[in-house]
Structure 1
Amino acid sequence: MLRSVLGTLVFLCALLRLARSQIPLEVLPLTFVTFEHHTQAATGQTTGRWLVLFNSHLHHRAGRASKVFAELASDEEKDVIVAEVDLDAEGNRYLAMRFPDIQPPAAVLFRDRLMYEYPGSVVAEDAVQQVKAFYQSDYAQQVGKLVPSARKLPSTSDIEKAQEGKWVKIALGVAMLAVGWWIKNKFGPSTAASPPSQASNTAGKRHSS
């Protein structure tokens, strides 16, 4: 009986090592297009547990946050996939709309079909240790939130069409301004000097007399 239990434990440990060995040791970049496909955050999370850095290249500490997550990703013993997404990058604004309450830089753990936002600063001096403790156990101190659905967001083709429509509107606006300027200069009131007024003519006659 004891040998059977020990054998089972050894087998489970081997499976755990195998699973961890398949977790990338670098930060995976995500975009609006790839976010749900890779993380499956709202559709079952069958790809594993994800620790995602919601970052912004406009934030003055964005680089520091990226370094913290690079160090977290290099941990061979971790059981989460580490990723990063730039909410202010071109094409990712709909992802920012999907997670409106997240202010970058912020760390969010996706597991068990729920999401847990790290309450501390991801740029603090001890951020690596604190975020690691969070995704390992401290997340359980929170009440997990439901992951916002991605189905209500526009598709990639919708985004491309919207961007094309935006440039068409800009081009039409510039063309209308140019036509208006041409019409004003072509058919507008003459810039020639107006004839002298009657009062000026009368004053001239008195002066000559």
Structure 2
Amino acid sequence: MIPSLFVVLVIVLLASTFDGSTAIIVELNVDNFEHDTQATTGATTGHWLVCLSGCTKHQELLDRLSEDEELEDMGVIVAQLKWNRKLGVRFGYTPSSRSRTESGLIVLFKKGKMYYYNTLDTHDMDEQIHHCKDFLHDQSGSESRVTPPVPSSAEAWGGVVTELIDFYKKLNGTQMQFAHITLGVTGAFLIFIVFYANATAAQAGAELSKKMQ
């Protein structure tokens, strides 16, 4: 009886292991991106098909690709990344580039270059898979550039400031007025906090001096 139960348990475990949920989509973030992908150097970690934005929209495509043995044979690793301003400035998927990011942004990092994948506007998943595989086999005709290096802290902050300035310039009249009001209120609040903190510290110092006399 016990051996029979053991056999059944083994079968159940094997069935749960091979239930089709074998998709492995690597999760990247600002801390592990360069270490794992070696995107700048094009080193030996393989070719990385990374969804930089709009990943929810393309989740089924990413899942199917991550299960595809042909991609494994090609040395292609499927990954996704939550939106991150620092990496956004580096790879050009900032809020000001909405036309690119609204439909999602998928990039192939290969041998020190990044190739932008133009997603296919169809609900036929098999057709999307075929289209993406063609792109992975031959990137000719796709927009590409040398993978930008990891920016220094100063460059990263400079990129953020530039992005904020560009965003500010694109505001219309009503949005500009609202932005001015928001900045004014925020500035006044910060000034109040500074003066209040100084006054509180001065009062505490005076009371401490009295106690010490």
> Offset at 1:71?
0.7
- The match for 1:39 among 29, 37, 40 is 37
Q: Where in structure 2 are the equivalents of 1:120-199 lying within 5 Å?
A: 120-121=119-120, 124-125=123-124, 126-137=127-138, 139-142=139-142, 144-153=144-153, 173=190, 176=193, 179=196
Relative to 1, partners in 2 of residues 1:146 and 1:153: Cα closer, same or farther, differing over 3 Å? Answer: farther
In the superposition, relative to structure 1, how do residues 144 and 177 fare at CA in structure 2: closer, same or farther (>3 Å)?
Answer: closer
Q: State the AA in 2 paired with 1:41.
A: A
User: Deviation per CA, 1:21-75, whole angstroms, max 9, x where unpaired?
Assistant: xxx951101111111111110023321111111124xxxxx42312211110100
Cα distance in 1 between the residues matched to 2:63 and 2:146: 27
Which stretches of structure 1, 4 residues or longer, exceed 6 Å deviation after superposition?
Answer: none
Which residue in the other structure is 1:115 paired with? 114
Measured in 2, the distance between the counterparts of 1:123 and 1:33 equals 34
- Once the two structures are superposed, what CA deviation does each residue of 1:61-106 show, in whole Å capped at 9, x if it has no partner? x42312211110100121200000111xxxx210111112573311
Opposite residue 173 of structure 1, the aligned amino acid is L
- 8 Å CA contact 1:64, 1:123 repeated in 2: no
| Higher Rg of the two aligned structures | 1
Counterpart check, 1:29 vs 2:27: yes
Q: 1:81 aligns with which of 77, 81, 89?
A: 77
Distance (Å, rounded) in 2 between the aligned partners of 1:106 and 1:152: 24
State the SS of the aligned residue for 1:63.
Answer: coil
> Unaligned regions of 5+ residues in structure 1, if any?
1-23, 57-61, 156-168, 183-209
Count of matched residue positions in the alignment of Structure 1 and Structure 2? 136
Give distance in 1, aligned partners of 2:121 and 2:44: 26
Distance 1:112 1:64 in 2: 27
Cα distance in 1 between the residues matched to 2:25 and 2:112: 21
Map Cα deviations across residues 171-195 of structure 1 (whole Å, 9 max, x no partner): x939628949x9xxxxxxxxxxxxx
| Structure 2 unaligned blocks of 5 or more | 1-21, 156-185, 200-213
Matching residue of 1:50: 48
Distance 1:130 1:83, change over 3 A: same
Percent identity among equivalent residues? 28
Q: 3-state DSSP class of the match of 1:54?
A: strand
Indicate if the aligned counterparts of 2:27 and 2:79 stay in contact, CA closer than 8 A. yes
Distance 1:48 1:75 in 2: 16
Richer in helix (by share): 2
Counterpart residue identity of residue 109, structure 1: L
Partner of 1:69: 62
Structure 1 window deviating more from structure 2 (128-137 vs 35-44): it is 128-137
After superposition, the Cα gap between the structure-2 partners of 1:63 and 1:44, relative to the gap in structure 1 and judged at 3 Å, is closer
Normalising by structure 1, what TM-score? 0.54
